Amino acid sequence: MSDVKIGIIGGGAVGLLFGAYLSSYHETSIFTKTKKQAIALNNLGITLIRDKKKHKYAVNGRGDYENIALQDFIVVAVKQYDLHSIEKVLKMIPKHIPLLFIQNGMGHIQLLDALPHTSIYVGTVEHGVVRIEQGTIEHTGIGKTNIAIFRGGHGDFSDFPTIQNQYFPFQFQSNYKNMLYSKLIANAVINPLTAVFNVPNGRLIENPFYYEAFLALFNEIIELFPEMNKKELLDEVELICKKTRLNTSSMLKDLKEARKTEIDAILGYILENGNKNGHALPFTNLLYTVIKGKELEGGIKV
């Protein structure tokens, strides 16, 4: 799919990362929460810092959803807890326009089921990225974006925009549930522990005491997912810690900046799943409670 108009809902770090790289190949519009950010993006574009070098990308900033129906493909890049605030917008997008959702956790699956669209993709993002200003991001870790079909032709990725960039690769997966479960488990282990211990990702496997907690949490959570390969997944989560060893997890960053975390979409979902299946998850529940307490201390209404 080439020469398409791409709309990205959400001007956070991940939305801007997608906007920067996709804009080199397609006309790209970012639909932002504020008109101020839309104006800044229109005037200055996106500045992406990678390996201490600045790269500029021209995009259209949109402070409203007036042109949403004119897009050929839409990436939904808001955090999971903000999806409810754009539900009406999503439902007014013509159903022939393919949608890609790149949220953490699994809480959005119910919303996707209720949408009328013919073609829906889900993705998991393994890049490290930090938003510095309204239109400036730093690409702190080169990873990949995994993509799977949630609804549409089996194995048919023809609706997906073409892009060939070594710094922003896509990998297509056959099973969306296993793909989302892998990311969910990685997030469920890394995010809360780094947030509680106030350390970068790598310290979880470098500090033997933190690693003990890492294994305890992983072993408790993995019991809920008997279809997943335990050894492969443990290796994968450890590898993420190694690759992003100096990175601050999104949950720790949110707490430091007194923002709401995605704890409900991650550990909240796992606890709900555990309750349904009769699994006691004491360590998971303790971490969930601690993070909610930290949100409250930071002035977040919980």
Specify whether the backbone of 198 is left (phi greater than 0), alpha (psi in -120 to 50) or beta.
left
Cβ-defined contacts of 296-301 (< 8 Å, 24+): 298/255, 298/258, 298/259, 299/258, 300/258, 300/259, 300/260
**Rounded to whole angstroms, how far apart are CA atoms 68 and 3?**
17
**Rounded to whole angstroms, how far apart are CA atoms 35 and 62?**
7
* Beta carbons within 8 Å of 13's beta carbon, 6+ residues apart: 129, 130, 131, 137
Q: Is 260 a catalytic residue?
A: no
**Rounded to whole angstroms, how far apart are CA atoms 62 and 77?**
14
Task: Give the count of alpha carbons within 13 A of 257, CB side only.
Answer: 13
Tokens 């008997």 belong to which residue? 226
**Rounded to whole angstroms, how far apart are CA atoms 204 and 247?**
12
**Rounded to whole angstroms, how far apart are CA atoms 120 and 88?**
17
CB 167 within 8 A of CB 128: no
* Beta carbons within 8 Å of 191's beta carbon, 6+ residues apart: 249, 250, 251, 252, 261, 262, 263, 266
Catalytic-labelled residue, pool 144, 177, 183, 230: 183
CB 118 within 8 A of CB 142: no
Please give the order of strands across the beta sheet that includes 99-101: 60-62, 27-31, 5-9, 73-76, 99-101, 120-125, 145-151, 170-172
Residues in the chain: 302
Catalytic residue annotation: 183
